[in-house]
Structure 1
Amino acid sequence: MKTIIKYILAVPLMLCFSSCLDEHPKDQLDQEAIYNNADNIYKNAVASLYNYIGSNQESEGLQGTCRGIYDYNTLTTDEAMIPIRGGDWYDGGLWENMYQHKWNANDINLYNVWKYLFKVIVISNQSLSIIDSHKTLLSAEQTRDFTAEVRAVRALFYYYAMDMFGRVPIVTSYDVKLEQVTQSERSEVFKFIVDELQDVAPQLADEHSNKEGNYYGRVTRPVANFLLAKLTLNAEIYTDDNWTDGKRQDGKSIYFNVNGEKKNAWETCIWYCEQLRQEGYELESDYASNFAVHNENSKENIFTIVR
């Protein structure tokens, strides 16, 4: 009798487990419902990337969050410091180690910054794959514009990764296997970022992203021009793969193709700053120490650039 009861109880339990395993969560949407038209493709594959620019998590976000990119770029220099008063703000020596350049490969906060940057790069690659696989729902212009904006966002995050870590992998496919990923020299990553921004800039919206409206906070053409100016201003650093030998290539001998013209790093930087000026932006000269850019022939001071 006990055996019969066991079998009777086992049947509904098995049916229950089978039903639970076959459950369809109501808080998740089917992928085809998410990417079923141009508007949803933009919202979920392009606009969603901007959620990662800011963050409420430590070590994440491009600016403003604690123990992240801003701190590692500011508190490691003489721009700012965090004084320790008694036991306050010591935090296990975190800020002191930053200021004294004593971080190492076991620094969990620095590792979290790395994970954050490459998480967004991988998600950007996924977005490019989604746009490509759903391009039958998009016009040729939409496919071009959506792709350009995602590539520009990815280039922005590659800039921060390259600036902070030097040698990083260049991964442009969402389906690449881990064993296929190799480290690239900083100069290679620098060239990749410049090429990407130059290639997509003409397809980006020629709008101010600092003004309220549809383009507020987005990577537009002026953003790309600003980033290109910043990259070429620091070309001497970013093209130097052996930064321990005390030697560095002069910016006058580092060349770029700008609209079919060959320009050195300083000329290229000036050209992109001029594009920003024509867009209605102004360069601030009272924000930080000045960097004077000189014309190679006349040696006249053209204007002042700051970080």
Structure 2
Amino acid sequence: MKPRFKIQNTIGIALLLFATLTSCTDDLDIVPNDDQTVLSEELFTNEAAYKQVLAGIYANLALTGTDGAGNSNLKNIDAGTSQFGRVLLYVQTLSADQMIWSYENDPGAREIQRNTWTAQNPLLLGMFSRAHLSIALANNFLRETTDAKLDARNVSTTTRTDIVAYRAEARLMRAMAYYYMMDIFGKANFVTENDNLNSFPPVYERGQLFDFIESELIAIDTDLIDSRQNEYGRADKSVAYMVLAKMYLNAEVYIGENHYTECLTYCEKIMDGGYTLAPNYLHNFMADNNTNSAVNEIIFPIVSDGTTTQNYGPTTVMVNGQVGSLEENGLELGVSNLVGVVHLELENN
């Protein structure tokens, strides 16, 4: 599908870390020679950059770097085993016996599936790092959109109105990343936009993360766009409700308290958003699920297509993994040609 929320040609900018070198002398007033590097003062002279940088936070859920599917923006981590959807599938599903997986050639998958993993498992490292990168990108966006910085840049009233929703979405993406850290690891290095860059972050345990995520999602409710009213691929109120419902459903595990009543409340809020089940379940997995009947069922998609968001992520690995591409099981099953076709179709999903 072609996402209406454009991220092509902006990801290289949006995933950069912006820094300004200053000194009491001119020796450190350095302008980067790399044409891929843009300082924040220059970047935000164009007010369209705010939406582009926001797109980078979403892009971190689909992409692994700025230079193609084989590139990783996480040091010493393979691009495939750090793609958000892929590592989330592995660590949540394989470890829970929800799926029998033939693709154990993927480093770390065998140990996850057989419950023999250690702290050095590359899939766990990929999930841990990818979630924290989401947090860092959201924090950077929030630092660059304070009232003081918008005033200094003379940002227009129209753009500032849009930035209210943008900031709420960034906080939502950060809260969701902390949710996965709380759920999977039980703790996280905790940093917000109010912390100094390169400061040593405290470690928040589940109870502290639960309180922060809950308070954030409730606080941004009025600033988020109403359910099913945002651009395809961008988060709205229902995404926040979904995270809250999942938290409350498992609150006894996270904080030792029963929150089933709150879970029901937020599930009803989602239903009130106008969602309906697709009459054909398979429509959810088709390339046109942004326009077919599934569009009324999907609460929050990770936007992918075969041109602008190529990756070794969930749709690729789900198809190739099920037939074991390295073991050539596809030849034994007589589906080797089919895999290539389905791979292309799902890469456009």
Q: TM-score range by the shorter chain?
A: 0.5 to 0.7
* Alpha-carbon distance between aligned partners in 1 of 2:234 and 2:269, rounded to the nearest angstrom: 18
- 1:279 aligned to which of 269, 273, 277: 273
Matched-pair contact (CA < 8 Å) for 1:122–1:174: no
SS at match of 2:144: helix
Q: State the one-letter code of the partner of 1:217.
A: G
- 2:264 aligned to which of 259, 263, 270: 270
* Alpha-carbon distance between aligned partners in 2 of 1:103 and 1:126, rounded to the nearest angstrom: 33
Q: CA deviation at 1:186?
A: 0.5
For 1:135, the equivalent position in structure 2 comes to 150
- 1:229 aligned to which of 224, 227, 245: 245
Q: CA deviation at 1:93?
A: 7.7
SS at match of 1:279: coil
For 1:13, the equivalent position in structure 2 comes to none
Matched-pair contact (CA < 8 Å) for 2:108–2:122: no
In terms of fraction of residues, the more strand-rich structure is: 1
Q: CA deviation at 1:195?
A: 0.9
SS at match of 1:76: helix
Q: Residues 190, 124 of structure 1: CA spacing in aligned structure 2 closer, same or farther, 3 A cutoff?
A: same
Matched-pair contact (CA < 8 Å) for 1:207–1:215: no
Corresponding pairs, count = 230
For 1:243, the equivalent position in structure 2 comes to none
Per-residue CA distance 1:260-284 (angstroms, 9 max, x = gap): xxxxx11111111111111112479
Q: Residues 269, 37 of structure 1: CA spacing in aligned structure 2 closer, same or farther, 3 A cutoff?
A: same
* Alpha-carbon distance between aligned partners in 2 of 1:120 and 1:202, rounded to the nearest angstrom: 23
The answer to whether the aligner puts 1:95 opposite 2:109 as a matched pair is yes
Matched-pair contact (CA < 8 Å) for 1:167–1:186: yes
The answer to whether the aligner puts 1:72 opposite 2:86 as a matched pair is no
The normalised TM-score by structure 1 is: 0.67
* Alpha-carbon distance between aligned partners in 2 of 1:270 and 1:159, rounded to the nearest angstrom: 19
After TM superposition, the structure 1 = structure 2 runs for residues 57-68 of structure 1, keeping only pairs within 5 Å, are 57-63=79-85, 65=86, 68=87
Structure 2: gaps (5+ residues): 1-29, 64-68, 70-78, 282-349
- 1:35 aligned to which of 39, 44, 53: 44
The answer to whether the aligner puts 1:81 opposite 2:100 as a matched pair is yes
* Alpha-carbon distance between aligned partners in 1 of 2:211 and 2:203, rounded to the nearest angstrom: 15
Matched-pair contact (CA < 8 Å) for 1:74–1:80: yes
The answer to whether the aligner puts 1:47 opposite 2:55 as a matched pair is yes
After TM superposition, the structure 1 = structure 2 runs for residues 132-171 of structure 1, keeping only pairs within 5 Å, are 132=146, 133-136=148-151, 137-139=155-157, 141-171=161-191
For 2:118, the equivalent position in structure 1 comes to 104
* Alpha-carbon distance between aligned partners in 2 of 1:180 and 1:186, rounded to the nearest angstrom: 19
Identity of aligned residues (%): 26
Structure with the greater relative contact order (CA < 8 A, sep ≥ 6): 1 or 2? 2
Q: CA deviation at 1:160?
A: 1.2
- 2:140 aligned to which of 126, 130, 137: 126
Per-residue CA distance 1:189-229 (angstroms, 9 max, x = gap): 011111111111221111427xxxx6111111111111111
Q: CA deviation at 1:47?
A: 2.0
The normalised TM-score by structure 2 is: 0.59
Q: CA deviation at 1:94?
A: 3.5
Per-residue CA distance 1:68-122 (angstroms, 9 max, x = gap): 1111111111210124xxxxx4438833321232111121221122111111211
Q: State the one-letter code of the partner of 1:32.
A: E
* Alpha-carbon distance between aligned partners in 2 of 1:42 and 1:129, rounded to the nearest angstrom: 15
- 2:201 aligned to which of 171, 177, 181: 181
* Alpha-carbon distance between aligned partners in 2 of 1:272 and 1:106, rounded to the nearest angstrom: 37
Q: Aligned-residue CA RMSD in angstroms?
A: 2.7
